[in-house]
Structures are given as structure tokens and as C-alpha cells.
């Protein structure tokens, strides 16, 4: 038995998968959007399973509070300020050298969503906000790409697999974005690390079914789980999938067309606000920026970002694409003022 055969020998013994399914996995491409609690678990499972190419997209960097549930990072990653997608890729490549792991440090917006997501076989939702989820849903429906939605708060989680043209989409289930403050978040309700592990594993399993030629076995509808009480619930969405959904039935894509967008957003589970540039231009010269800001305070820089400490507990992290994460506040006006003061944006 050669090394490759031995690596997946236990997996191919599983009858629904078999060698044929394993070969299909090896020739497939999965995109994981968000390398946090759910995304890190899903990415690890897909890489270990032998999916040929796994692209990791994330806009952020790890913090100490992430380590309780985000399984691809360590304390050194936090200290170095390495972007999540890069740190995750470094770890995953050591896990399985046969898989092509591609890290992408970017925020998915209507400007780049099709370029980042358009050429893959499945999309995994590891995001923490509905704005990005609607974008994923619209790209998937427009391009005919299956995607697996997931969410986790406290001990509760949900999974929903969307197969364009065959099942209900996210907008069938949630026609309009929830109003700010109406839903619990990991910042307000907390989250168990085990919750994200279970939900991320379910998402990866759904993706493996799709990639291995077992789409007929995909779980239909919405699966909701409460790990604390041990309750599992399956909700049928058949009635929703036959209604006149603006996205999957009428092919209206407002998020993808940029009709709905924000330039500032509070990041889930942390005292931080992301400020997006109004227009994308050429990449920022991070080296020159680091030199300029170092005259004003403590600076930590790497090839992906410059982190400038404004004062104790308050910092700016500037990415080459112009995004800035202001850590230490949840007030958008203050975050904008700091960006304008130090970056002139």
C-alpha cells in the first residue's frame, strides 16, 4: 500500500464514499469563508479528508479570546499578528501536504465576491454576519455553486445546505437582514468551543457529500442543535423553496450588485470596528506606513498588515487592501475619527 492509499484507507472503507468518492474529493475545490470557530473546524476536516484544493478567505487576525474555540491558531499566532487565513494555512499544510491550501487575506464584498468564490465546487460559511452570508448566497445562486450555511451561539447551532435550483436558499429562510441588536451574538451570549466543533464538523460532512458524488444524501432543510440539552431538530424548508424568493426564483442580487453595503461594522465577539475604504485603489505600501506611524507610537508589522498602538488597549490594524480594524472600541464614530486622524481616510 502506498503512502497516499494508506492515508485515506479508513475513509474509503466507508461504503458511501469508497475509492471513487475519494478520487472525486481529490479533484475538487472547496472555499472556506471565515477562518474562525466554524471555518477552522471545517477547513481542518476537509484538508484531512483529502479535498484537493482548499481556499481560506478571512479578513482578520487571531486574538487571545479566539483560542478557546478556533482550532487552527496558537498563542504565537496571536503575538505575531499573523492573519487568520495565513496562520491556518501554515498549520493545515503540515497536516496534509497532498492538499493545496491557498490563504487569501481579504474581506469579501460585492466588488470581489465573484472573483473569490466563482471558481469552486462548494462554499463553506464560516462568517459571523448576515451581510456576508447574503453575498455568499447570491454568488452561489447566480453561479450554481452549492454552499453550506452554519451558525453557532452558546450551546446552539444550525446547519443548512443550499443547492441552487433544488433547495431553499438563505433568503427563502431569512428574507430580510435582522435588525442590529435583535439576535444574540458570541459577544452577548458567549459560545462553547464544543458547539462550533459539532457545527463545523456537520458543515464539512455536508461538503464531503457534495464533493464525493453523494449529493442525494445531503440533509434537507435546516438542522438545529442544542448541545446543552441534547436536542436535535430538523425543519423542512420545502414550502419556502416554492415561494417567489427574490434571489433564487427571481434572480435579484442586491448585495452582489452593491445596493446594500456598509463601510463600517462592529466585529462579532470583540471590541473592534472594521472601516472599509470608500474606493479600492492600489495596495497600501505597508513598509512606508509602518515607518511613518512608528514616529507616533508602537508599531508591529508583517507582510500582511501594520498594527499601530494608539494607546493602551486601543490600536489600528491596517491591511494592504485599505481596510482598518480599530480594536478597543465598539463605537463607529470614534473608530472613523481615529482612522481619519492617523491615516487621513
Q: Which residues are catalytic?
A: 186
Instruction: Kindly list the distances between the CA atom of residue 96 and the CA atoms of 46, 53, 204, in Å, as whole numbers in the listed order.
Output: 10, 11, 16
Cα distance between residue 320 and residue 59, in whole Å: 11
- The continuous run of DSSP H or E covering 44 comes out as helix 37-49
DSSP notation for 50-63: T-SEEEEEES----
Radius of gyration over alpha carbons of the chain, in Å?
20
Cα distance between residue 322 and residue 242, in whole Å: 42
SS3 category, 31: strand
DSSP notation for 208-258: HHHHTT-GGGSPPSEEEEETTTTEEEEE--HHHHTS--TTTTT---TTTTT
| Grid coordinates of 26 | 481529490
The closest alpha carbon to 59, from 108, 118, 102, 111, belongs to 108
DSSP notation for 126-163: --S-HHHHHHHHHHHHHHT--EEEEEEEBTEEEEEEE-
| Grid coordinates of 107 | 474581506
Amino acid at each position: 500500500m502506498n503512502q497516499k492509499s494508506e492515508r485515506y484507507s479508513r475513509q474509503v472503507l466507508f461504503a458511501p464514499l469508497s475509492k471513487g468518492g475519494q478520487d472525486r474529493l481529490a479533484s475538487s475545490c472547496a472555499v472556506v469563508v471565515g477562518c474562525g470557530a466554524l471555518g477552522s473546524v471545517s477547513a481542518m476536516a476537509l484538508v484531512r479528508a483529502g479535498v484537493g484544493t482548499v481556499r481560506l478567505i478571512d479578513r482578520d487576525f487571531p486574538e487571545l479570546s479566539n483560542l478557546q474555540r478556533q482550532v487552527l491558531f496558537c498563542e504565537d499566532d496571536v503575538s505575531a499578528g499573523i492573519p487568520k487565513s495565513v496562520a491556518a494555512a501554515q498549520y493545515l499544510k503540515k497536516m496534509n501536504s497532498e492538499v493545496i491550501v491557498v490563504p487569501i487575506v481579504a474581506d469579501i464584498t460585492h466588488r470581489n465576491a465573484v472573483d473569490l468564490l466563482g471558481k469552486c465546487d462548494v462554499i463553506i460559511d464560516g462568517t459571523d454576519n448576515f451581510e456576508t452570508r447574503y453575498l455568499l448566497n447570491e454568488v452561489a445562486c447566480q453561479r450554481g455553486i452549492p454552499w453550506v450555511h452554519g451558525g453557532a451561539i452558546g450551546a446552539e447551532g444550525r446547519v443548512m445546505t443550499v443547492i441552487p435550483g433544488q433547495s431553499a436558499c438563505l433568503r427563502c429562510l431569512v428574507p430580510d437582514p435582522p435588525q442590529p441588536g435583535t439576535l444574540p451574538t458570541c459577544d452577548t451570549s458567549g459560545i462553547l468551543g464544543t458547539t462550533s466543533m459539532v457545527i463545523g464538523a456537520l458543515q464539512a460532512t455536508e461538503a464531503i457529500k457534495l464533493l464525493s458524488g453523494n449529493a442525494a444524501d445531503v440533509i434537507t432543510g435546516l438542522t438545529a442543535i442544542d448541545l446543552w440539552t441534547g436536542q436535535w431538530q430538523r425543519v423542512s424548508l420545502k414550502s419556502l423553496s416554492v415561494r417567489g424568493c427574490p434571489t433564487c426564483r427571481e434572480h435579484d442580487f442586491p448585495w452582489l450588485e452593491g445596493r446594500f453595503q456598509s463601510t463600517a461594522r462592529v466585529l462579532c465577539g470583540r471590541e473592534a470596528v472594521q472601516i472599509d475604504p470608500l474606493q479600492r485603489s492600489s495596495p497600501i505600501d505597508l513598509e512606508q506606513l509602518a515607518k511613518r506611524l512608528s514616529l507616533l507610537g508602537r508599531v508591529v508589522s508583517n507582510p500582511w498588515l501594520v498594527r499601530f498602538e494608539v494607546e493602551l488597549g486601543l490600536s489600528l490594524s491596517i491591511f494592504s487592501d485599505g481596510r482598518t480594524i480599530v480594536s478597543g472600541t465598539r463605537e463607529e464614530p470614534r473608530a472613523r475619527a481615529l482612522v481619519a486622524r492617523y491615516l487621513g481616510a
